[in-house]
Amino acid sequence: MAGAIAFLLKGYPRLSETFIANEIRALEKRGLDIRIVSLRRPTDRERHPVHAEIRARVHYLPEYLYRAPFRVFASWRRARRRPGYRDCLRAWWRDVRRDPSPNRVRRFGQALVLAAEIDDDVIHLHAHFLHTPASVARYTSLLLDLPWSCSAHARDIWTTPEWEKREKLASCRWAVTCTAANHRHLAALAPDPARVSLVYHGLDAARFPATVADGSSRDGSDAGDPVRILSVGRAVEKKGYDDLLAALARLPADVHWRFEHVGGGPRLRRLKRLAASLGIAERIRWRGALAGPAVLASYAQADMFVLSSRIARDGDRDGLPNVLMEAQSQGLACVSTRVSAIPELLEDRSNGLLVDAGDVQALADAMLGLIREPAQRHRLGAAGRARVAHEFRFEDGIDRLQARLAGAG
């Protein structure tokens, strides 16, 4: 490849976006020259080991324009002399008229700064997420006459207006998305369905080596050795953790269990109050956001994994949660919901259990069945591990991305 590729990310590094870091590192190992452009500075205290392995330089744009007025003004003075400035300004003004929000102004300002400060050897822009990073990529593309592409995932798809998705898909060179459900939706909006490709994230077996343990025989009958239930995910509405807590509260009093949650998020305090009101707080351990090795240790200590995803009121929803693949790779039986692309990974009673989103009693019944039947947990866990290993290989997705990006420019 004759030049570098700028990856535009909403924030870097982020504990909740390990899949992006793994992808960047894998592409670097294959010879791609990547530069990271972040719209925000990091807020997580910890980092995953993969972040230390990434060689790419990180360029931070001003998150709030008013905090860097001279930087923004100097960038504007340079950008207004570029041939693409008028086209960019017209595109931005059309967006503002349809969505007159501060966010639109911020993304235009960030594009001005990026256009002024980008490395001269960058020949292609690639945005992770179809909402704000793609907006900055699109405006910068117009300013610099550079091609751009996009990886679309979950919230960025389902909370972005249809008009905006159509225009971005018409503007970008190509797009990939990580689930068949996403692919059907975006391909129908693209000017040419072939512009959008399905590329599963897959699971890097080197970072999640398969366990050799046969699993525990805990069945909830021993108060001194309760069944260990795990969930990993941000405390946000679409994860449905209030449904999960309500389901845990419905388990019979003579069944002994402990629940561990790994993840940060704005609803943590609310969930802790809910657990207390349900009388189950003493059975729950809230771990907060953890780096990779600690998350892997949590999988190893658990008996089963539960993720009660649902569609949020603003339309946000999961794609195919990477944590389900991670849990299955460790031989954990998984319980989840029939939302978005989750059934693309979990087949009910074949390699996991599925219930309808919001059906608290069905969720409680599914967990109770796995608590009381260790053999069923072991069977589903083994089937899940085999499915991830054979059908969701990390290398397959990287092969496809490498081929796309190697021809960029």
Assess whether pLDDT exceeds 90 at residue 84.
yes
Could you give the CA distance from residue 66 to residue 75 in angstroms, rounded to a whole number?
14
**Buried b / exposed e along 277-290 (16+ C-beta atoms within 10 A):** eeebeebbebeebb
* Predicted local confidence at residue 75, as pLDDT: 98
Question: For the segment 296-355, what is each residue's pLDDT rounded down to a tens digit?
Answer: 999 999 999 999 999 999 999 999 999 999 999 999 999 999 999 999 999 999 999 999
The HSE-up count of residue 374 (CA atoms within 13 Å, CB side) is: 13
Question: For the segment 138-169, what is each residue's pLDDT rounded down to a tens digit?
Answer: 999 999 999 999 999 999 999 999 999 999 99
SS3 250: coil
In terms of Cβ atoms closer than 10 Å to its own Cβ (0-12, 13-18, 19+), residue 57 is exposed
Q: Where residue 292 falls among pLDDT bands split at 50, 70, 90?
A: confident
Assess whether pLDDT exceeds 90 at residue 396.
yes
Q: Please state the rounded mean pLDDT for residues 165-176.
A: 98
* Predicted local confidence at residue 214, as pLDDT: 65
Assess whether pLDDT exceeds 80 at residue 81.
yes
Structural domains in the chain, CATH included, are 4-202+393-406 (3.40.50.2000), 227-391 (3.40.50.2000)
Backbone angles phi, psi at 18, to 5 degrees: -60, -35
Cβ count near 306 (within 10 Å): 28
Structural tokens at position 130: 């179809």
Could you give the CA distance from residue 272 to residue 266 in angstroms, rounded to a whole number?
12
| Number of residues written out for the chain | 409
Q: Among candidates 364, 363, 383, which has minimal Cα distance to 375?
A: 383
Report the chain's mean pLDDT, rounded to a whole number: 95
* Predicted local confidence at residue 15, as pLDDT: 87
Is the C-alpha dihedral spanning 342, 343, 349, 355 positive or negative?
Answer: positive
Assess whether pLDDT exceeds 70 at residue 1.
no
Question: For the segment 180-211, what is each residue's pLDDT rounded down to a tens digit?
Answer: 999 999 999 999 999 999 999 999 888 888 77
Cβ count near 31 (within 10 Å): 9
Backbone angles phi, psi at 50, to 5 degrees: -65, -30
Quick one: DSSP state of residue 245?
H
Q: Please state the rounded mean pLDDT for residues 242-256.
A: 98
Question: For the segment 43-59, what is each residue's pLDDT rounded down to a tens digit?
Answer: 888 899 999 999 999 99
**Buried b / exposed e along 177-198 (16+ C-beta atoms within 10 A):** bbbebbbebbbebbeeeebbbb
DSSP letters for 202-230: -B-TTTSPPP--------S--TTS-EEEE
Could you give the CA distance from residue 277 to residue 225 in angstroms, rounded to a whole number?
25
Assess whether pLDDT exceeds 90 at residue 407.
no
Better-scored residue on pLDDT, 77 or 212? 77
Q: Please state the rounded mean pLDDT for residues 81-99.
A: 96
| SS3 letters across 348-408 | ECCCEEEECCCCHHHHHHHHHHHHHCHHHHHHHHHHHHHHHHHHCEHHHHHHHHHHHHHCC
Assess whether pLDDT exceeds 60 at residue 36.
yes
CA distances from 93 to 86, 87, 98 (A): 10, 10, 9
The HSE-up count of residue 94 (CA atoms within 13 Å, CB side) is: 11
Q: Above pLDDT 70, what percent of the chain?
A: 99
SS3 262: strand
Tell me the pTM: 0.89
Q: Where residue 102 falls among pLDDT bands split at 50, 70, 90?
A: very high
Average the pLDDT over each of 6-10, 132-136, 390-394 and give the range with the smallest value: 390-394
Assess whether pLDDT exceeds 70 at residue 409.
no
Backbone angles phi, psi at 283, to 5 degrees: -95, 5
